[in-house]
Structure 1
Amino acid sequence: MDVMPQQDPESRQPPDPHASPPAATALPPEGATAVPPPPPTLRTTLRRAAFGVVAAAVLVTGAVVAVPENRRDTGSGVPGPAERAQAATTAGSPAALPDLTALIGDRQKWVAGHPQDAPSWAVLGSAYVEWGRRTADAAYYARAEDALKRSLAARPGERGNGEAWVGLAALANARHDFLAAKKWGESVKAREPRTWRAYPVLIEAYNGLGDYEAAGEATEAFGRLRKGVPALARTAQMYRDRGWREDALATAQEAADRATTPAEKAEALHRLGELAWERGEPEEAVAQYDAAVRTDSGHHASHAGRARALVALDRTDEALSAYQRAVAKLPRPEYVLELGELYESLGFDGDALTQYTKLRGMLTRAKAAGVNETLLLARLETDHGDAGKAVELLRAEWSQQRRSAAVADALGWALHRSGDSEEALEYARSALETGVRNASYAYHLGVIERELGQYGGARRHLEEALRTNPAFSPLAAPLAEDALKSLGEPADGGPRDMQPAAAPAETPEPAPEPTSSASTPPETTSPSPSPSPKQKQKQKQSPSATPSPTRTSPSARPSGGQ
């Protein structure tokens, strides 16, 4: 099925997060497309009530809801924007932003006159979560929490309002509170073991906590219960996280081939671009990102991905333009950090410092909105600020059970930069032992091993970093090349000859910049003090001690919906 390019969502005015609560007088934003309400007949009232009930039937992945696949607009015969938003999410697919705007406006009007409609409040709250994530506007999360609490006040989760619990799980994931998301999601799964709606939020939560075995099991369960493009997308991500690149690529390509809507197609093409970038194929990555933007001009994440790939192709001016567009349209903090590091690699220290200062302000505002951006702040401090402070931040993350590969890598690198390479080695190794092929992780481990005189391992991991993606970072990739050159070629003799005669000269690293100054989930036990990766391995809790999910053959992969 051909997919037509999507209308730019900027042509629609998004809902105002600072407006009065929707239960009182909130209306659709000015300029948003909404079908005028019909005369207040009994048929209309019943139809709109049914709309809210059915809309709450399936909540997740896009954090919105779904209606039965055979639902059609009974008026003109053409689904309206709100109906299209629901149709897109029937299989857990992303909705187009203009249609999501229409859905929000429709539910705002409805709950203003029906404040006890729990399903419609759940729809509205979950749509706010999705809007906040898709536009990088954390202001919507407070409104989402309020709407979801109103839904639970009208009907508690224990009385069948699992939609609101899934919405709270999606909200917790958006705020990077993965432990809370896990609790909400597992509560829904326990009450509704034969439905799929809890699994997407659980997959994200498990990955955020570093529980990759549970994430793999949840992905497989999701694929059994909800086949189609969403299952293929989740499975491709699981394969990627395990380092199974060929399987990830084949599954992601199948998802792209089967996608039917512009938003779903653009997301699939973006995923193919990410996979191409990670395996060091920038030209292919640019082609996929360009295709994503052509399909859906509002897919601004592809501008940032395109910028990374353009840097690798030495098309620096284009890369700067793409980054600036991405930051302007989708102000995610990680894009600001990447832009700052690109400026720094070009010698534009003033511009780089401007971006780092801007990033600190963004992270402060995110924290005020309840979003945990500790990992990104720690990355900023490690390479451009106070590495000791980064260690403190990341130790706190680790102690709160957030033990993903990304946190392990960041903590290892921060420990190294603060002068403790011995302890850093454990965390850096545990990041790579998850199986993911990440050039930055291999580079960090190689540098740490080099510092400790483990020259064989250092050479192997630095080569791995540059083989995985020769241009993985405009700042770090040249340092990786220098570090590898300083080690020289391996000696012809045995292990005794593997070390250089003298320790290699210290390779400069990025110089530090001056620093500038919901509801409660169901009860569980408090997290215990956190062990180091070595202790975790003994307790069979570390990534290296966690068995990977059974590798699925292509014929056994989730195949799409019937």
Structure 2
Amino acid sequence: MSRVRRLLPLLGCVLLGCVLLTLYAPEGVLRRDEPPPALASWSPYDLAGSIEAAQRRLRRHPDDAAVWASLGHMYLEQARRTTDTAYYDKAKGAFERSMRQPTGDGEPYIDAMIGMGALANARHDFAGAVRWAERAREAAPFRWALYGVLTDAYLELGRYEQAETALRRMLGGRPDLASFTRAARLEHLRGRPGPARDLLHRACAIPGDPAEYAFCQWQLGELAWHNGDPRAALAAYTQALAADPGHLPSRAGKARAEAALGRIDQALRDYAAAVARSPSFVVEYGELLEHLGDRDGARRQYAVFTAQHKLLTANGDTDNLAVGTFTANHGDPEAAVRYLRAEWKRRQSVEVADALGWALHRAGHHTEAATYAARADALGGRNALFAYHRGEIEHALGHTAAARAHLTRALSVNPHFAPAGAARARALLAETP
């Protein structure tokens, strides 16, 4: 039985756990290591207004550690919703101001430390995220948000046993949207889309603000997409956008599903709307344009990605995984290998294993590529792109039967996994005896 499956019985113990945790506060006095009451109230329905309100309060009370920490978390949420990385520096500044304020026990404000961990994850400094979360855990082991930081970091580092342990602790203490969606991701990685879907439906049923509901529906859309059901994916993305029209990942996801269903004009409109507000989806958009024969339009999108990469590098926020993946497909594969070897030293996740294997293949190093592709495919659940990459590598090595098996599996999992990749897989299968 899957190790992740052992997470699910914990959910039946949630109510008992919550009751027991209340006993840690004798005579109703909140312990130092339990979640405090809301110190800086903010509304997710009006995030920009809440940021302005926090800024006004800080102009009057610049030593309020709680409000500085809340402001940092708001900036992180704004970055997540808009994919604008400029908010990262603002979040960092707010968390640092919070931690500089004196507290009664001489420790930095706990929520600011957790925020620094979440920021490190967002910036792909996963080892740094672990350090911040562990520091917070030493001071406040019952602050459940820190276990979300740990789960995310350990997953990206490829340390799945530790990710499951952290998530188990989070589920036992705070079964909510944040913990259920993380559990769903683990189930997906284990190749169990049914339990992953059940967990996401449970998360979406938890009352929350429109942005949280949109995030949850987007995850359902992603799960449906990766499992080859563009209609269900489109329905979920559409629900997400009905709740939060500004949710850009759902806008891009909707475009991807529409393209798979042959609704090309609408797909192009949705992609254009997404990239007009964020460069995060320009490569995906460009690859569709290139597949449709619009090479000039594709080059324009790729140029935006290159410019954005240079800007991020100048700010110290290089994303070696994204750059390496792009370069392997649209640039110098040897340079892509260098980017991705550097990233592999930082984190050994399935995504990096797959990307490095593919870059090695594109650079002609097929034997070494096969090792990384096998690792990604074994640990990455039902992932059509991983299976396709492995099939291409086996084909390059002359392993006809293995290549055919992996390419067939890729198309059976998701026949629309990538416009050019899916077409190439079909062509290889047609020419392979």
The aligned residue for residue 14 of structure 2 is none
Q: Which of 366, 388, 392 lines up with 1:447 in the alignment?
A: 392
* Distance across 2 between alignment mates of 1:295 and 1:399: 40
Match of 1:399 in 2: 345
CA contact (8 A) 1:142 1:369 kept: no
The residue that corresponds to 1:117 in the other structure is 64
1:374 and 1:142 map into 2 onto residues whose CA distance is: 19
Return the match for 2:38 from 67, 86, 111: 67
Give 5+ residue unaligned stretches, structure 1: 1-56, 59-64, 69-81, 86-94, 489-562
Deviation of 1:169 (Å): 0.8
Shift >4 Å, 4+ stretches? none
Aligned partner of 1:310 in structure 2 is 258
Match of 2:143 among 181, 195, 202: 195
Closer, same or farther in 2 for the Cα pair 1:355/1:160, shift >3 Å? closer
> What is residue 417 of structure 2 aligned with on the other side?
472
**1:274–1:285 contact (8 Å) kept in structure 2:** yes
* Residue number in structure 2 paired with 1:362: 308
Distance 1:130 1:229 in 2: 15
Q: Structure 1 or 2: larger helix share?
A: 2
Q: Look up the match of 2:11.
A: none
CA drift of 1:257 comes to 2.6
Shift of 1:420: 0.3
Q: Does 1:291 align with 2:291?
A: no
Shift of 1:332: 4.2
Q: Measure how far apart 1:66 and its partner are.
A: 6.6
**What is the letter of the counterpart of residue 341 of structure 2?**
R
2:54 corresponds to 1:107: yes
Q: Which residue of 1 aligns with 2:29?
A: none
Deviations 1:321-343 (A, max 9, x none): 111111123x142x110001001
Q: What is the Cα deviation at residue 266 of structure 1?
A: 1.6
Given that 1:412 and 1:427 are in contact with CA atoms closer than 8 Å, whether structure 2 keeps it comes out as yes
Aligned residues: 400
Aligned equivalent of 2:362, options 401, 417, 422: 417
Contact 2:203–2:216, Cα closer than 8 Å, also in 1: yes
The answer to whether the 8 Å contact 1:375/1:407 transfers is yes
Amino acid of the residue matched to residue 116 of structure 1?
A: D
- 1:164 deviates by 1.3
After superposition, where does 1:159-178 map in structure 2 within 5 Å? 159-178=107-126
Structure 2 residues without counterparts, runs of 5 or longer:
1-33
1:346 equivalenced with 2:292 (yes/no): yes
Q: CA deviation at 1:382?
A: 0.4
Q: 1:141–1:369: 8 Å Cα contact kept in structure 2?
A: no
Provide the residue aligned with 1:230 in structure 2.
178
Q: Secondary structure at the match of 1:433?
A: helix
- Residue equivalent to 1:265: 213
CA distance in structure 2 between the partners assigned to 1:219 and 1:326 by the alignment: 32
2:100 to 113, 130, 153: 153
Q: Would the aligned equivalents of 2:279 and 2:305 in 1 still touch at CA under 8 Å?
A: no
Corresponding residue for residue 383 of structure 2: 438
Secondary structure of 1:159's aligned partner: coil
Map of 1:29 onto structure 2: none
Q: C-alpha deviations, 1:363-398, integer Å up to 9, x for none?
A: 111222332311111111101100000000111111
CA distance 1:200–1:158, change in 2 (3 Å): farther
Q: Which has the higher contact order (CA 8 A, sep 6+)?
A: 1
8 Å Cα contact 2:394/2:403 also seen in 1: yes
Using the TM superposition, give the Cα deviation of residue 113 of structure 1 relative to its aligned residue in structure 2, in angstroms. Answer: 2.1
Amino acid at match of 2:428: A
Verify the 8 A CA contact 2:188 2:196 in the aligned structure 1.
yes
Partner of 1:72: none
Q: Residue 82 of structure 2 contacts residue 248 of structure 2 at CA under 8 Å; is this kept in 1?
A: no
Question: What CA deviation, in whole Å up to 9, does each residue of 1:405-458 have, x standing for no partner?
Answer: 111100000000001001000101110111421111000001101111222221
Please state how far the C-alpha of 1:194 moved relative to its aligned partner. 2.6
Provide closer, same or farther for how the CA distance between residues 259 and 278 of structure 1 changes in structure 2, counting only shifts above 3 A.
Answer: farther
Decide which of 133, 136, 140 is 1:185's aligned counterpart: 133
Query: Where do 1:4-153 residues align within 5 Å?
Result: 67=38, 83=41, 85=43, 95-96=44-45, 99-153=46-100
* C-alpha displacement of 1:126: 2.1
What do the CA deviations read for 1:446-499 (whole angstroms, capped 9, x no partner)?
1101111222221111111000100100111000111122222xxxxxxxxxxx
8 Å Cα contact 1:176/1:373 also seen in 2: yes
Give 2:402's aligned residue. 457
Matched, 1:384 2:300: no
State the Cα distance separating 1:84 from its structure 2 match. Answer: 5.5
What is the TM-score when the length of structure 2 is the normalising length? 0.88
Tell me how far apart the structure 2 counterparts of residues 123 and 451 of structure 1 sit (CA, whole Å).
53
Is the CA contact 2:101–2:108 (under 8 Å) kept in the aligned structure 1? no
Give the letter for the 2:100 counterpart: A
Separation in structure 1 between the aligned mates of residue 107 and residue 74 of structure 2, nearest angstrom: 22
Which secondary structure state, in structure 2, belongs to the residue aligned with residue 243 of structure 1? coil
**Equivalent pair of 1:175/1:370 in contact (CA under 8 Å):** no
Match of 1:482 in 2: 427
- TM-score normalized by structure 1? 0.68
Structure 1 residue 195, shift from structure 2 partner: 2.7
* Cα deviation code 1:493-534 (max 9, x no counterpart): xxxxxxxxxxxxxxxxxxxxxxxxxxxxxxxxxxxxxxxxxx
Q: Quick one: distance in 2 between partners of 1:411 and 1:435?
A: 14
Task: Assess if the C-alpha contact under 8 Å between 2:370 and 2:394 holds in 1.
Answer: yes
Say yes or no: does 1:245 pair with 2:193.
Answer: yes
Q: Does 1:275 pair with 2:220?
A: no
The residue matched to 1:258 in structure 2 has which SS?
A: coil
Q: For residues 155-214 of structure 1, what are the alpha-carbon distances to aligned partners after superposition, in whole Å with 9 as ceiling and x for unaligned?
A: 379615211111111111111111111111121123322331201111111122121221
C-alpha separation in 2, matches of 1:384 and 1:473? 15
2:81–2:248 Cα contact (<8 Å) kept: no
Aligned-CA RMSD value: 2.0
CA contact (8 A) 1:174 1:371 kept: no
| Contact 2:395-2:403 at 8 Å conserved across structures | yes
* Partners of 2:150 and 2:156 in 1: CA distance: 10
Aligned partner letter, 1:470:
P
Of the candidates 334, 337, 340, which is equivalent to residue 283 of structure 2? 337
Percent identity of the aligned residues?
A: 41
Amino acid at match of 1:381: T
Match for 2:351: what amino acid? A
Look up the match of 2:7. Answer: none
**Rounded Cα–Cα distance in structure 2 between residues aligned with 1:193 and 1:322:** 44
C-alpha distance in structure 1 between counterparts of 2:352 and 2:246, whole Å: 30
Q: Amino acid of the residue matched to residue 469 of structure 1? A: N
Counterpart in 1 of 2:28? none
Shift of 1:128: 1.5
